[in-house]
């Protein structure tokens, strides 16, 4: 279906679908019969009361608006620092940190595979020096840090460096606030980086939860990430089921193996995707809260309403924006943010309209903030909680999604939990089946994507400006400067202290102790991330380099 | 199929640490459905490994994917390796997030396609068939 000639035909068109994005059939009208058996107290409840279908706070956005968040991830710590300060001044209330793709993979910039991705998607935070620069002049206590670092080592080292920096500045670490993804199962399926083997990743996940609860009670040590999985091409019920199943796995293990009580945890935080299907997205957030409230009670023994509630942070779907006629992305992102607000989420991170060309430009970032200000202050949508509650269609869809996700959860339970589902390949099959089906429908034009497989047309001057404005990866010369920086750091730091601290870290790994404290101490004397990953791996009986391309530095080879 | 009737052999993979592999998974399926033989090399590879595998597998085409905006550097290294290993006849095509201003340089070094997300698979298949056939003519 190419529409070059028909784009201006005002009577052209006709819906091609009768199902939602996740292929849930939709009737042409809904009525009271669709709500048969619906019980307000049991299935909806007032906002702020279990099962929290209508939102987790009685006042919802009248009490406080959602957190306006986005990843700030420029190439150098200096640029990132300037951007943080600028965005804070523009009203941003949470700082989201993302390291570059190489560091996220668990190596230093001088690793032979790193050269391509140094400074791509973030800055190379290979040692505490980089955090010192990145957060220079920014208060560390009581600000919301959201770690967007999804890999097992990425989540681990964001926390390690933040706590190390606070202690170095004599700040009170119990006032560290924010969230850490720390969701290794999703990382294996989406990122597939091998720096920690599954058994090691499982242990680090629990170490972070245990240490976090004891020492940084305002920090969420594990906030399972449905977003990345969704963006890899699965459906809403799968996203809901997998994110809840991962939470049950990690927190269930922490309770069973680390002697923490589930009631000690702050409310659960899930990161999810706001997709283009408007009502399905709204219903998904409502259904997720309801299903989580039940699972927390039934599976984890939650007794207080607080521990049955889940906060939902969203990112708008990165895979829904397209490079063809990029001006159209403003419409997609606006609808997705509106769906998130109508769905009662707590934190919103929209895509940049130019994000298919590079990192979002500063103007595109400001647009994301302004878009949220417009929804908050001009549209008046947030004035009342869950405005669509009671809608025949939305309530019915909420129940459909919950039922489908609950069935998947049962199956995961039968299969022995998410680690088992990862190990057996069941999870991979779930992904493959969904992506094949969705892609097939796109190819067959049973799903229309304006500008891409339908309604194509040339870019005009506005779209061309969007393409040109996107932030580009810096020059190779500048990027390779990070290689020089890590080499210099290794020459100027206290080598004996590094060796001693890494030795202590290795001992903690071997003796089965929680490794968070000894990693923080190693970070404080400027051990690099690659060295710390390698030390942990070797003490666990693995070779130094996860990618089998380099051997351990001389000073670590004792006992390899 | 090529004009001589043989199945086109395509190696698809990613150089460096870019983890976004939905594109190469979808394209592998698309290429197979279009009757091509696909050698799936996956991610976390070096340029040298891509080229060595391409030679070993006797492929017609290397399809590179990158979503970190550094295709120019990846392609430069791959083309250099092809030259060094004496396999300049292998066609190289690319896709992902490729900065507009890098496209002329990529075309100039013989890396074509340079498709963005949302490109219909049949368009990419058509391009590969054309590249391979024009090579056969040469």
Contact assignment for A192 to B73 by CB distance below 8 Å: no
Q: How many helices (H) and strands (E) does chain B have?
A: 5, 5
Residue of B nearest to A187 (CA): B19
Report chain A residues whose CB lies below 8 A from the CB of B44: 105, 113, 193, 547
Using DSSP's 3-state secondary structure scheme, residue B113 falls into strand
In this structure, the number of other CB atoms found within 10 A of the CB of residue B33 comes to 12
Q: Which residue out of A116, A124, A435, A471 would a mutagenesis test of the B interface target, given it has the greatest number of B Cβ atoms within 10 Å? A: A116
Distance CA A522, CA A542 (A): 20
Distance CA A168, CA A528 (A): 16
Q: How far is B14 from chain A (nearest CA, A)?
A: 11
Residues A147-173, mean pLDDT to the nearest whole number: 96
Instruction: Report residue A2's pLDDT band, with 50, 70 and 90 as the boundaries.
Output: very low
Residue of A nearest to B101 (CA): A468
Residue A303 in contact with partner chain B when CB distance is under 8 A: no
Of A349, A350, A353, A370, give the one whose Cα is nearest residue A361. Answer: A353
Residue A468 in contact with partner chain B when CB distance is under 8 A: yes
Q: How far is A113 from chain B (nearest CA, A)?
A: 5
Question: Greater confidence, B137 or A222?
Answer: A222
Residue A357 in contact with partner chain B when CB distance is under 8 A: yes
Q: Pick from A190, A467, A472: which is nearest to B69 by CB?
A: A472
Residue A451 in contact with partner chain B when CB distance is under 8 A: yes
Lowest mean pLDDT segment, chosen from A81-85, A178-182, A215-219: A81-85
Contact assignment for B25 to A192 by CB distance below 8 Å: no
Residue B48 resides in a domain? yes
Report chain A residues whose CB lies below 8 A from the CB of B30: 439, 443
In this structure, the number of other CB atoms found within 10 A of the CB of residue A174 comes to 12
Distance CA B95, CA B113 (A): 7
Residue A102 in contact with partner chain B when CB distance is under 8 A: yes
Q: How far is B78 from chain A (nearest CA, A)?
A: 12
Instruction: Report residue A9's pLDDT band, with 50, 70 and 90 as the boundaries.
Output: low
Strand partners, A268: A310
Distance CA A358, CA A70 (A): 15
Residue B2 resides in a domain? no
B47-56 vs B71-84: helix crossing angle, rounded to 10:
50
Q: Which residue out of A107, A112, A120 would a mutagenesis test of the B interface target, given it has the greatest number of B Cβ atoms within 10 Å? A: A120
Residue B70 in contact with partner chain A when CB distance is under 8 A: yes
Distance CA A189, CA A152 (A): 12
How many A-B residue pairs are in contact by the CB < 8 A criterion?
A: 103
Residue B99 in contact with partner chain A when CB distance is under 8 A: yes
Q: Give the CA distances from residue A114 to residues A127, A188, B15, B70, in Å, rounded to whole numbers and listed in that order.
A: 15, 20, 10, 12
Q: Give the CA distances from residue A51 to residues A307, B25, B114, in Å, rounded to whole numbers and listed in that order.
A: 11, 39, 49
Cβ atoms A344, A60 nearer than 8 A: yes
Contact assignment for A439 to B68 by CB distance below 8 Å: no
Report chain A residues whose CB lies below 8 A from the CB of B13: none
Residues A475-487, mean pLDDT to the nearest whole number: 93
Cβ atoms A364, A327 nearer than 8 A: no
Residue B47 resides in a domain? yes
How many angstroms separate the first and last alpha carbons of chain A? 61
Q: Give me the number of domains chain B comprises.
A: 1
Tell me B67's DSSP state.
Answer: S
Distance CA A256, CA A525 (A): 34
Cβ atoms A503, A539 nearer than 8 A: no
Contact assignment for A117 to B68 by CB distance below 8 Å: yes
- Stated length of chain A: 560
pLDDT digits (tens, 9 = 90+) for A251-283: 999 999 998 888 887 789 999 999 999 999 999
Range of the domain at B92: 9-137
Residue A149 in contact with partner chain B when CB distance is under 8 A: no
Residues A150-176, mean pLDDT to the nearest whole number: 97
pLDDT at A11: 66
Report chain B residues whose CB lies below 8 A from the CB of A74: none
Report chain B residues whose CB lies below 8 A from the CB of A105: 17, 19, 44
Residues B109-127, mean pLDDT to the nearest whole number: 95
Q: What is the CATH number of domain A65-469?
A: 3.20.20.240
Residue A473 in contact with partner chain B when CB distance is under 8 A: yes
Contact assignment for B117 to A467 by CB distance below 8 Å: no
Contact assignment for A116 to B68 by CB distance below 8 Å: yes
Residue of A nearest to B121 (CA): A443
pLDDT digits (tens, 9 = 90+) for A207-258: 999 999 999 999 999 999 999 999 999 999 999 999 999 999 999 999 999 9
Beta-carbon contacts of residue B46 (< 8 Å; ≥ 6 apart):
A112, A113, A549, B15
Using DSSP's 3-state secondary structure scheme, residue A25 falls into strand
Report chain B residues whose CB lies below 8 A from the CB of A191: 19
Residue B53 in contact with partner chain A when CB distance is under 8 A: no
Distance, CA of A496 to chain centre: 38
Of A211, A472, A246, A210, give the one whose Cα is nearest residue A360. Answer: A472
How many angstroms separate the first and last alpha carbons of chain B? 17
> Cis (ω within 30 of 0) for the bond into A51?
yes
Q: Is a pLDDT exceeding 60 seen at residue A559?
A: no
Residue B4 resides in a domain? no
pLDDT at A83: 86
Q: Give the CA distances from residue A160 to residues A97, A102, A184, A208, B54, in Å, rounded to whole numbers and listed in that order.
A: 13, 18, 17, 9, 41
Strand partners, B12: B40, B63
Q: Which residue out of B15, B17, B125 would a mutagenesis test of the A interface target, given it has the greatest number of A Cβ atoms within 10 Å? A: B17
pLDDT digits (tens, 9 = 90+) for A290-347: 999 999 999 999 999 999 999 999 999 999 999 999 999 999 999 999 999 999 999 9
Distance CA B58, CA B11 (A): 9
Q: Is a pLDDT exceeding 80 seen at residue B71?
A: yes
Contact assignment for B18 to A116 by CB distance below 8 Å: yes
Residue B55 resides in a domain? yes
Domain-by-domain residue ranges, chain A? Answer: 65-469, 477-556
Cβ atoms A3, A456 nearer than 8 A: yes
Q: Is a pLDDT exceeding 50 seen at residue A420?
A: yes
Contact assignment for B118 to A324 by CB distance below 8 Å: yes
Q: Is a pLDDT exceeding 50 seen at residue A3?
A: no
Residue of B nearest to A358 (CA): B69
Which residues of A, range 304-333, sit inside 8 Å of B by Cβ? 319, 322-324
Q: What ipTM was assigned to the predicted interfaces of this complex?
A: 0.89
Residue B64 resides in a domain? yes
Residue A440 in contact with partner chain B when CB distance is under 8 A: no
Q: Which residue out of A108, A115, A435, A529 would a mutagenesis test of the B interface target, given it has the greatest number of B Cβ atoms within 10 Å? A: A115
- Mean residue pLDDT of chain A comes to 93
Residue A148 in contact with partner chain B when CB distance is under 8 A: no
User: Domain of B109: which CATH number?
Assistant: 3.40.50.280
Instruction: Report residue A74's pLDDT band, with 50, 70 and 90 as the boundaries.
Output: confident
- Stated length of chain B: 138
Q: Out of A440-444, A543-547, B119-123, give the one with best mean pLDDT.
A: A543-547
Lookup: tokens for B62 = 């290397």
3-state secondary structure A295-344: HHHHHHCCCCHHHHCEEEEEEECHHHCCCCCCCHHHHHHHHHHHHHHHCC
Residue of A nearest to B22 (CA): A232
Distance CA A527, CA A360 (A): 32
Residue B76 in contact with partner chain A when CB distance is under 8 A: no
pLDDT at A5: 47
Contact assignment for B116 to A324 by CB distance below 8 Å: yes
Beta-carbon contacts of residue A14 (< 8 Å; ≥ 6 apart):
none
Residue of A nearest to B19 (CA): A191
Q: Give the CA distances from residue A162 to residues A57, A128, A228, in Å, rounded to whole numbers and listed in that order.
A: 30, 9, 23
């Amino acid at each position: 279906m190419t529409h070059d000639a028909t784009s201006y035909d005002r009577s052209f068109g006709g819906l091609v679908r009768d199902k939602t994005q996740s292929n849930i059939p939709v009737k042409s009208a809904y009525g009271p019969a669709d709500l048969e058996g619906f019980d307000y107290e049991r299935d909806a409840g007032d906002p702020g009361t279990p099962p929290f279908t209508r939102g987790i706070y009685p006042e919802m956005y009248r009490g406080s608006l959602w957190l306006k968040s986005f990843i700030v991830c420029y190439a150098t710590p200096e640029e990132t620092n300037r951007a943080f300060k600028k965005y804070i001044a523009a009203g941003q209330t949470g700082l989201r940190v993302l390291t570059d793709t190489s560091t996220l993979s668990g190596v230093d910039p001088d690793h032979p595979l790193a050269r391509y991705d140094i400074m791509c998607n973030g800055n190379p935070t290979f040692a505490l020096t980089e955090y010192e620069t990145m957060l220079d002049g920014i208060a560390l206590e009581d600000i919301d840090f959201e770690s967007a670092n999804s890999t097992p080592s990425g989540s681990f080292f964001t926390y390690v460096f933040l706590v190390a920096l606070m202690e170095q500045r004599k700040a009170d670490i119990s006032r560290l606030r924010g969230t850490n993804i720390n969701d290794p199962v999703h990382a294996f399926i989406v990122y597939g980086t091998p720096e920690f083997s599954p058994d090691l990743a499982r242990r680090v996940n629990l170490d972070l939860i245990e240490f976090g609860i004891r020492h940084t009670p305002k920090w969420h040590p594990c906030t399972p990430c449905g977003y990345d999985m969704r963006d890899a091409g699965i459906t809403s019920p799968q996203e809901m089921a997998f994110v809840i199943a991962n939470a049950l796995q990690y927190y269930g293990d922490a309770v069973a193996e680390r002697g923490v009580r589930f009631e000690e945890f702050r409310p659960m935080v899930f990161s999810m995707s706001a997709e283009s299907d408007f009502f399905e997205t709204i219903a998904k957030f409502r259904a997720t809260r309801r299903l989580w409230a039940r699972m927390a009670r039934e599976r984890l023994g939650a007794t207080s309403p607080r521990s049955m509630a889940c906060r939902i942070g969203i990112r708008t779907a990165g895979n829904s924006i397209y490079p063809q006629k990029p001006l159209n992305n403003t419409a997609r992102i606006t609808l997705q943010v509106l769906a998130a607000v109508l769905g009662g989420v707590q934190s919103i991170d929209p895509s940049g309209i130019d994000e298919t060309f590079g990192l979002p430009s500063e103007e595109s970032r400001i647009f994301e903030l302004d878009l949220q200000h417009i929804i908050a202050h001009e549209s008046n949508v947030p004035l009342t909680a869950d405005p669509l509650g009671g809608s025949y269609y939305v309530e019915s869809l909420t129940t459909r999604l919950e039922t489908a996700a609950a069935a998947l959860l049962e199956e995961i339970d039968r299969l022995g939990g998410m680690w088992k589902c990862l190990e057996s390949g069941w999870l991979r099959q779930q992904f493959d089946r969904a992506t094949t089906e969705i892609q097939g429908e796109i190819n067959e034009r049973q799903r229309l994507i304006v500008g891409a497989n339908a309604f194509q047309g040339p870019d005009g001057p506005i779209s061309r400006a969007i393409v040109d404005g996107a932030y580009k990866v810096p020059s190779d010369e500048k990027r390779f400067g990070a290689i020089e920086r890590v080499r210099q750091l290794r020459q100027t730091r206290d080598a004996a202290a590094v060796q001693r601290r890494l030795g202590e870290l290795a001992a903690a790994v071997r003796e089965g102790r929680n490794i968070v404290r000894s990693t923080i101490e190693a970070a404080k004397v400027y051990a690099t991330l690659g060295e710390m990953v390698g030390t942990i791996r070797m003490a666990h009986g693995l070779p130094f380099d996860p990618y089998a391309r380099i051997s351990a530095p001389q000073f670590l080879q004792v006992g390899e | 199929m090529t004009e001589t009737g043989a199945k086109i052999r395509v190696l698809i993979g990613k150089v460096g640490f870019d983890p976004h592999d939905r594109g190469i998974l979808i394209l592998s399926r698309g290429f197979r459905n279009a009757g091509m033989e696909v050698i799936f090399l996956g991610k976390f590879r070096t340029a040298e490994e891509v080229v060595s595998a391409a030679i070993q597998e006797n492929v017609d085409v290397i399809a590179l994917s990158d979503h970190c905006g550094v295709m120019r550097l990846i392609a430069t290294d791959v083309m250099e390796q092809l030259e060094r290993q004496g396999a300049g006849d292998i066609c190289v095509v690319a896709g992902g997030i490729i900065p507009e201003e890098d496209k002329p340089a990529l075309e100039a070094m013989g890396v074509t396609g340079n498709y963005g997300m949302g490109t219909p698979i049949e368009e990419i298949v058509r391009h590969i068939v054309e590249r391979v056939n024009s090579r056969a003519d040469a």
